[in-house]
Each structure stands twice: as structure tokens, then as C-alpha cells.
Structure 1
Amino acid sequence: MDTEHVVRTFVEYYEEHGHRRITGSTLLPPPGDPVLFTTSGMHPLTPYLEGRPHPLGRRLVNVQRCLRTTDLDEVGDSTHLTVFEMLGTWSLGDYEGSRSLDWGYRLLTEGLGVAPGLLHATVFGGDEQVGPDTDSLRLWQEHGVPVELTVEDNWWQNGPVGPCGPDSEIFLWTGDTPPESTPGRDDRWVEVWNHVMMRHRRLDDGRLVPLPQRNIDTGLGLERLASLLQGKPSVFECDVFAPWRRSVPALWPLDEPSLRLVCDHLRSAVVIVGDGVRPANTGRGYVLRRLVRRVLTVLWRDDPSRGLDDLPRELVTHTLDHFGQDVDPGLVRRVLVEEEQRFGRLLERGRQVLSRPRFSGPLGEDDYHYLHDTHGLPRDLVTTLREGGYSRT
């Protein structure tokens, strides 16, 4: 079952249950949102989760591309990506969590063919302010799905203040043995779907007050689910990465961890550029810059002659088409190549500056500020250069 089939099955199932499909936004969050990038499908829907009527009604479904900078250091394992797609459903003050979980269970087992015995759930066990989520617990028990009760791991909030509530997560067993233990004790249980019962708002003083309406917000990582349904050991081996895994090793022979990082970061950089971001020293542009520099660090480590001008146009085109971005692939490649050239010049200047006697010993804060403000050398680049990184010799 390829990713397009998964998306079609997911969306059509919820449309049959009265949901209207909404168009996903770009990676750029709506004005006023403090995050750099859209991190979940709920971001564009925040006003409606807080009570504003949505023009398409109370039941919604969509596919949203997301980027989570908090996951950058996790990229390269079997489940994390920089840019990924989230399948989402919402009830805006309509149905309750037990119905959402029931539909989720039936879609996984009947629509997508997951064996019920491979599922495990976690449920909010209650704390000093909110009692245990007995409705979700009862639902899972009725379906015969084992349940683990937690507190912090099953409480969702988007920050220290704002909408929040208990959640129930669905896990799929990925081990070679029959299922054992629980998600909290065995990482062979992989989370595939989170159902948030968004009922509260946390105030500045920590108190909880009811939201104007009781919402349901669910999120399901498409690439993670697809890799599990396809029997693949990692998200990098599901069908969306097939063109990358065919082309990149032939172009740049790499070990598996390096291959994953290069494929992920270049693919993500293409999507970010496609959404209008350009390299910069701050904000979104700096995230893009970090991705490109990490790729170049890996490529140059084994062969200094490697460069992004070798990146096949077909990979850029495939990625832009997959994400529905109407952007010239040639423009995207030029942005990446120009950033590579800029980085090369910066490295040359950085080595020259750091070779001065003034910087031969330990660096203090004044040194870092001077290097940044006078020579445009960020702290992380200075640190890596002094440790012998970014070598092209």
C-alpha cells in the first residue's frame, strides 16, 4: 500500500463519516503564530478550535506538511524526518474522544489491514487537576486492545499556556517476536496516531479553564504509517524516498546514517525553498541554512569535490510535485548551489580569521561576539572549525 493509497483510504473513510477535506497550508504558519514553521495540522485551525465557526462545518480532515526543528537531532533514526506529512482529523465541538478512537481503530484494522493483536494504546491516567480518561480506557477495553496509563506522556499542550487536554496514543508493534511489554517500556512499540481531547485552556498561573467547545484533534504521520504498512524498517525505505535511494548512492556513495541525513535534509530543503524561504542568518532562513550545511559537511567529509550542482533535477521535480508546489525546479537548485558557494567562501574566511594568534587559545564570549558581528561567523561554525570540521582538503 503506497502513500497515495494510504492518503486516499484515510480521507475517503472520514469523508464517509461526515468530514470535509480542507486544503493543507504551506510550511509557513499563519500570521501571529510564534513558531517558525507549521508543526501540525492544528496550527492553521487554531481560531476554529477556540470557537470560531469553520466555513466547512464541525468535522474536518486534511493532509498537512510539517516541520519540527525540535526533531532535527533525531533525524536518521527509523521514524523521524525534518519535513513530513501529517494526516489529521478534527471535531470542532461535535463528537467526543471515544467515537474518534473507535473510528481510528476501525480504519487501522478494517481499512488499512493492521492486525488488532499488533496494537497497544496509552491513556491519560489523571493528575491533581484532571481525572483519568475513563471513556478512552473503556473504549480500548471493549476492543480488546491493551492499555497503558500515563500522566505526562498522555497530556497534550502546545506550550505553557493555551489549548490543551488529555490524549490517547495508538502504537503498532514492530518487533520480530509476538507483542510484549508496553510502549513505555519497549521502543519496538511505535506511535502511529495521537487523539487529543482538547477541552481545556491553561492560564498563565497554571490553572485550567474549559474551552468554549470540546474538540478532538488527531494526527497520524503519513511516512511513518506507510513504512510500517509496507513492512519497511525505517521511514527512509517507504515509497516516497524510493527515487532518492535510487539516485543518491549512485551519485555519492554513503553509509546508511549519512545517506538518511543527506536524503532527508536535501528533500526538506527543496520543500522549504518551494514554500518561499531563502537562506538567512536568522529565523526560517537559518533552519534552511543549517540543513544545507549539514549535508555539505557529510558530503565533503569523504570527497571534497562533491557539490550540490550534481543534484539531479528529477529529484527536485519529484519532491515539488509530491508536495504540490508550483515552483521552477531550476530555481530551487540555484538557491541550493548559491548557498553552497556562500558557505564555501565563509569557511575560507573563517579559517583565515581563526588562524590569527588572538584565537589560538580558549574563546570567551567577547571573542564569539566579535567573530559573529565583525566576520559573520556563527558560534556553531566557529566551534566546528576549531574542532577540525568542514574539511575540504
Structure 2
Amino acid sequence: MISILIAAAAGLLVSILLTPYLIRVFSRQGFGQEIREEGPQGHKSKRGTPTMGGVAIIIAMVVGYFVAHLISSFGGTGTGTGGPSASGLLVLFLAVGLGIVGFLDDFIKIRKQRNLGLNKTAKLVGQLVVTIVFAVLALRFPNGEGLTPASESLSYVRDLALITFPSVFFVVFCYIVISGWSNAVNFTDGLDGLAGGTAAMVLATYVVIAFWQTRLSCAVSPQAACYDVRDPLDLAVVAAAATGACVGFLWWNAAPAKIFMGDTGSLALGGLVAGLSMTTRTELLAIVIGGLFMVEMISVVAQIAVFRTTRRRLFRMAPFHHHFELAGWAETTVIIRFWLLSAICCMFGLGLFYSEQLGLGG
């Protein structure tokens, strides 16, 4: 438990102190955000706001994770993992790898002064390369109980034995999950603090889930309701460091934002959620926990599908947080209400997780 608190505190401290430094550096370099011409008129004033703030989130998350291990190691508190684990490092790799893809996308936008960075093919290829490395390594590094960081089975709160993917199809499955989550968070990142605040709630939920899995690990407490998850406590440390990083960044990113996370942050956070869902064996439950991200992505897909078939728009603009802005809602009103919806999704997801455990244990 101490290592989780240290990771969260270190992530928060690094993020809240590093972000204003990046604001000054990026402002001097002219790394400002380009705004969609067809977007809400109120967003025009945001043109030129520094972007690529996701760099602060990534650095703070990584520093928080390793500081927690370092202090726990020298302080004798222990993390229960004997140092950084395969699961924790793989989830960090996935987040950082996608963050690099997002950074390249942001950098091209800035250099060419346009709202489009990497083309769709280049972005998908970048996500594919990171996904393949993650998928291959996630099925290796078995521990003493034979558990690998991820499994070839689809999962809800634990693996569903009836749905197992052959190795090749597991890579395809990983690509669908990872690209889906990274793009879902990317779509949500359209209002000041919306993606950062929502990600903080989702990641905090995963701190609770991974910590609970630690307390009821089959390796420690074999019973009907135990969890076969490799390195759950270390995954809680990763999630805690990322939660602290998001909260620290949100201090500067909340409306009116002084910096945007850009694709650097949104793709990294999406990869983080995807990685945590696979390593904690909660891929289907993650859809509920990150329900707001899912709805934002569905709104984009639905808008495209309806327009191509009927030549009519389902929403005034997609992602659908812009629909409410164009309907006359103030930006802060949309943000706060969407945060509330995200909190409800997280609480409902935790309820489903706990009810499943009660059903088996009770």
C-alpha cells in the first residue's frame, strides 16, 4: 500500500511542477495548437495554446513508478513484486510507445501548422508496431505459477475460458483493444480537462481493482473468489503513478487550459487503459469503467455511418461533446457533466467487479 501512495504522490509532484516549465518552453518554441475551422466558434481563442503536454504526464508516470520502487526498496516497505515487474514494465512500454506515436503526430501538426499530423496510415502503422511488441511479450515471462502478464482468453473480471484466441489472432485482438482505447481517449480530448479528468477517474478505479486483486491473489489466498493475475500490486503502482500524473497535469489543463495534452497524452493514456485491462483480466469490464471514452468513440463512428448512408448528420458535430456546445451549453457545463457521467461509469464498474467477487465468495 505504501508503494501505491508513493507512486501517486511522486507522479502528482513531478507533473504539477514539470507542466508549467513545459508551458514556458513550448510557448517560446511556438508549439501551439491548431483549431478545426468547423469547430465551435468559442474554440478559436484557443489557437496557439501550447500542446504536447502529454510529455509531462508520461514523464511523471514513469518517474512516479520508479521512485516508488526505489524508495520501497531502500525503505524496506516492499512492493510485493521484488522490484519492477514484467506486467508493470509492459504496460509502461505500451503507454510510452503510443505516446511517441502521438508526439510525432503533434510535432508534424506544429511544424506544418495544420490540424492534421500523421496521416491515418502512418498512425495506424505506429500503433501496430507497438501493439505487436506488446502482444508478443505479454504472453512471455511466466511467473512461478505459470501466469504471464496477459492471457489469450477474453476476460470480464477474470478470464473467460470459453473464448480463447490462437496466438496470431491474439495479436489482432490486442490491436483492436489498443487502437480502440487510444483512439477513444483521443476523441475525448476536445475540451479543457475532459480527457485528463476522465482518465484520472478510470486509472484511480484500476488502482482499487489491482489492489483488491492483490489482497485476493490465488498465489496468496487460494479460494473460489481469488484472482489469477500476474503482478497485481505492481499494476496498482503503475495506475497510481498515472493517476497522480493526470491530476497534476489537470491543474494546468482545466478550463481555461494553459496547455493541451495533445495526441502525445491521449494516445499514451488510451494505451495505458488498454494495457491495464488486459493485464488485470478486465477487458470487458473496462468498457463499463471507461464508458465515457467508449460513448465518445461510438458517437464518431455513428456520425460517419449515418452521414455516409443518409447524407444527414446524427449530431451537430462529433465527438458528441461538441454537439452540446453547438446546442448552446457552456464548455465548463459540458465538462463537469461529462465528468459526472464518467464518475458514474467508474462506480458502476467497481460495483460490477465487487459483485462478481461476492457471488463467487459468498
More helix by share: 2
Higher relative contact order (CA 8 A, sep 6+): 2
TM-score range, shorter chain: under 0.3
Q: Give TM-score, length-normalised by structure 2.
A: 0.23
More strand by share: 1
Rg larger for? 1
Q: Give TM-score, length-normalised by structure 1.
A: 0.22
